[in-house]
Amino acid sequence: MLLNEARLQQVMANHGLDALVATSPENVTYASGYWALSQWIRRGPQSYVYWPAAGKGEPQVVASATLLDLLADQDVNVPNTETFGSFYVETQEGVGLDNLDQTQARLYAQERHSSAQNALAAILKRDGENVRRVGIDEYGLPGSLDAFQLPDVDGIEFVPAFEAFREIRAIKTASEIGRLRRVAEITEDSIKAALNMAKPGVTEIEMAEAFNIETIRGGATPVLYCIGFGTRTAMPNVQPSGAVLSEGDLIRFDAGGRFKHYRADIARNAVLGEPSKKTRDFHRALQLGVERGIEAIRPGVKASDLFDMVVETVRNEGIPHYKRTHVGHGIGIDGYDLPILSGSSQDVLEEGMVLCVETPYYELGFGGLQVEDMIVVRSDGAETLMKTSGKLISI
């Protein structure tokens, strides 16, 4: 399963919580395997996962009646469900149902609460006699934690827990690492497919289309595709436009799709023709920053020390004025998980973290260069998820 249950229990204990409630799409899917479509593509639809501390009850999913089919059809690691809302799915007497339809029928037949909040209240009333202090992921609630009143549930203190979920998600399970490895591979394949189109006259939009089609073919969906040419590469978030590729132009990718809900974030650079000396020299410094950073990664290393080392490397190797707020971050079901590799970070690297290590450089009138690799922190150092090096590609 995706959830690191041991760490969930540890974080609850550390924060003095009797239960945790996931409410935002990333945390609901992470805590249960349940991907509740409408919650992912809109603001407003509610789905929760309730996880009590060890010995204080059983985890539960709170699911809308409109989304019970997905609960039946997905690999969900929380077997108990409370449902809410109105929805009509028919069954005809005497018609045989396969396993999937039987599971759906059972879910549709459950007594329904009038709202997600009422369903959660019912769980707390029934199972929560030892549950007094509840951490609730405040980012998925409808508007306001203080406006989140549960009926007939007295004496429960709700505290914000979005950050507690980030803490839990920082150490990946094997299943998560498998997905991250695959989405990294799909993203590298997509960069390759996009660069296969590189020739004078091609537009950023055309190259992004090739990138995204390869992402779809790999089984992922497009999320991040900052793809630009020439001086437009100086835009950190460059969005594909009608700008046309010319001889000598830089091409920068900062991109990654989503595979089985897990994100990639990888950066590579190419030049159509011969790179200038400045491009070569700056790129070399940035690549060395990432490479030496990755070599230094071990459990126990302070994120802030890694940050200092990477920035120093880039400065010493060719960009003396190099400045950054961070040189990387965790990645998982969210594109920016913990830890953050910044100068002010209090995070310490741990085995099982998956990190993006990156050294972007943006200069108006020149362009942007960026090397970004994905790695797993193992007991003896970093294991790369990359099949390609971050070297400057000359086409």
- Region 195-254 residues binding a second copy, contact defined as CB under 8 A: 205, 209, 212-213, 216-217, 219, 221-224, 226, 231-232, 234-239, 241
Segment 40 to 69, residues that bind a second copy, using CB under 8 A: 41-44, 66-67, 69
Segment 298 to 337, residues that bind a second copy, using CB under 8 A: 321, 323-325, 334-336
Closest to a second copy by CB, 68 vs 294, is 68
Closest to a second copy by CB, 25 vs 339, is 25
Closest to a second copy by CB, 72 vs 266, is 72
Angular region, 242: left φ>0, alpha ψ -120 to 50, beta rest: alpha
Any idea which residue has 């970093």 for tokens?
A: 382
Query: Running DSSP on this structure, what letter comes out for residue 240?
Result: P
Segment 89 to 108, residues that bind a second copy, using CB under 8 A: 89-92, 95-98, 100-101, 104-105
Segment 260 to 299, residues that bind a second copy, using CB under 8 A: none
Closest to a second copy by CB, 141 vs 349, is 141
Answer whether 185's CB lies under 8 Å from 217's CB: no
The b/e string for 69-99 (b: 16+ C-beta within 10 A; e otherwise) is: bbbbeeebbbeebbbbbeeeeeeeeeeeeee
Cα–Cα distance measured from residue 148 to residue 79, given in angstroms and rounded to the nearest whole number: 26
Cα–Cα distance measured from residue 304 to residue 320, given in angstroms and rounded to the nearest whole number: 20
Taking the complex as a whole, the smallest distance from the CB of residue 122 to a second copy amounts, in Å, to: 22
Segment 154 to 193, residues that bind a second copy, using CB under 8 A: 160, 162
Single residue of 4, 7, 11, 26 touching a second copy by CB under 8 A:
26
Taking the complex as a whole, the smallest distance from the CB of residue 58 to a second copy amounts, in Å, to: 26
Closest to a second copy by CB, 325 vs 379, is 325
Task: List phi, psi (to 5°) of 173.
Answer: -85, 170
Single residue of 139, 348, 350, 351 touching a second copy by CB under 8 A:
139
Work out whether 144 is an interface residue with a second copy (CB under 8 A). Answer: yes
Closest to a second copy by CB, 4 vs 359, is 359
Interface with a second copy (CB under 8 A), residue total: 78
Angular region, 269: left φ>0, alpha ψ -120 to 50, beta rest: beta
Single residue of 58, 73, 308, 312 touching a second copy by CB under 8 A:
73
Taking the complex as a whole, the smallest distance from the CB of residue 108 to a second copy amounts, in Å, to: 8
Closest to a second copy by CB, 127 vs 337, is 337
Query: Running DSSP on this structure, what letter comes out for residue 242?
Result: S
> Counting Cβ atoms within 10 Å, is residue 277 exposed (0-12), middle (13-18) or buried (19+)?
exposed
- For the four alpha carbons of 240, 245, 249 and 251, in that order, the dihedral sign comes to positive
Coil/strand/helix, residue 241: coil
Closest to a second copy by CB, 36 vs 382, is 36
Taking the complex as a whole, the smallest distance from the CB of residue 85 to a second copy amounts, in Å, to: 8
> Counting Cβ atoms within 10 Å, is residue 1 exposed (0-12), middle (13-18) or buried (19+)?
middle
Cα–Cα distance measured from residue 84 to residue 82, given in angstroms and rounded to the nearest whole number: 7
Segment 330 to 389, residues that bind a second copy, using CB under 8 A: 334-336, 361-366
